[in-house]
Amino acid sequence: MGPVSDAVVSTLGDSILVELGLHAGFELSTKIANDLLIDKSIKRVIPVHSKRLETTGIKVLLITLKYKHTVEDAALGFYRSSVHKDSSLFATVKDYFSVEKGWFSPYLFASGRRPIIPRTIKPDIIFCHGPFLSGDYRVGETLLAESASTITFCDAPPPLPEVAPEKKPFSLSLPKLSNVFDRSRTPSPEPAVTLLPPPPVPRRMVILVVGLKPHRKLWTTSARPHESVINYILLNGCPAIVVPVKVGAPVVAWDGLTLEQLWKVELPDEDVERSTSGKFEGIVDVLFEYLDLCVDWERVTLSEGLGNGENLNTKGMLKDALALLVAAGIMSGASKEVQKETDKERGGIAMWRIP
């Protein structure tokens, strides 16, 4: 049996509508930021203090995701990294009252998928395998297209060719009157089951820093009948990372740390490889360890100035890219625009699977 997300749905009518709101400080087109990894190879230190990672503006996208399925429980999974001294997934009494890990839940709840996250666990990454909506792909692709910069580890798939509908010649067939009296009516054939189209191959995943806000100040107004209406906030200092993923990668996933928690993390000093506390490196290690399970390493390409030689350390480069993303998220706390327009408890690092 294939992944849950492939077996579940034929949500006919899934689509999205996008309205662009505040977008001061954003360029008209998305820029490739792979050259930040070149800076690391030259200086031997990841440029986490680069001016390009400072957030000076935000972009607000009001996205309406339409769906047709009935409300049901989301198929969630929970990942706890092995980098912790206590690798147990179960929470202590102190963590029992923590609700930050569910900061991304409104995305699922508003689209008819109840996210049930037990208080008794303390995951690093929460991921969802279904129910799958084709609108999930559209949301991920939209956020990628609207990001200020990207670090890509794979080529975009070619556009699907448009197939013209087959025209059948008109014909009228009337039964003979003798056949009506000679025999009874032939029973109608059983209707054939309509097969769902196969999932798009190859697949990718986009990882980015995003903030969520309700449509009209209350989350109940974002969950309309068969519609999810949410404001998505992108930061121009945070690059989006695109990686190729295997079949079975989750529909969406998110890191349990909120923006508020990221802003409290100490960055390493310039020209220093590690921070004093080691928390920054721990966050990067957790993200990389999880993505290592999802990425299809055989399809990784680095065509934007980094070459494609066999001796390239692609895993090391992805880890460096994640360090840049986490550093940009931490530095975004210094932006007055971010502090004003985002809900620090409803933002963090999220991932969407896309074609």
Give the number of other Cβ atoms within 10 Å of residue 184's Cβ: 6
pLDDT top residue among 166 and 63: 63
Rounded-to-5 percentages of helix, strand, coil across the chain = 30, 25, 50
pLDDT in tens, 15-42: 778 888 766 656 666 667 766 765 554 4
Structure tokens of 250?
A: 């989750």
Question: Which residues is 90 bridged to in the sheet?
Answer: 121
pLDDT at 200 > cutoff 90: no
- Of 324, 235, 210, the C-alpha closest to 57 is 235
**Domain coordinates in residue numbering, the chain:** 4-157+199-354
3-state SS assignment for residue 89: coil
3-state SS assignment for residue 295: strand
pLDDT at 6 > cutoff 50: no
pTM attached to this predicted model: 0.80
Contact partners, residue 305, CB within 8 Å, separation at least 6: 34, 35, 38
pLDDT in tens, 117-126: 888 888 999 9
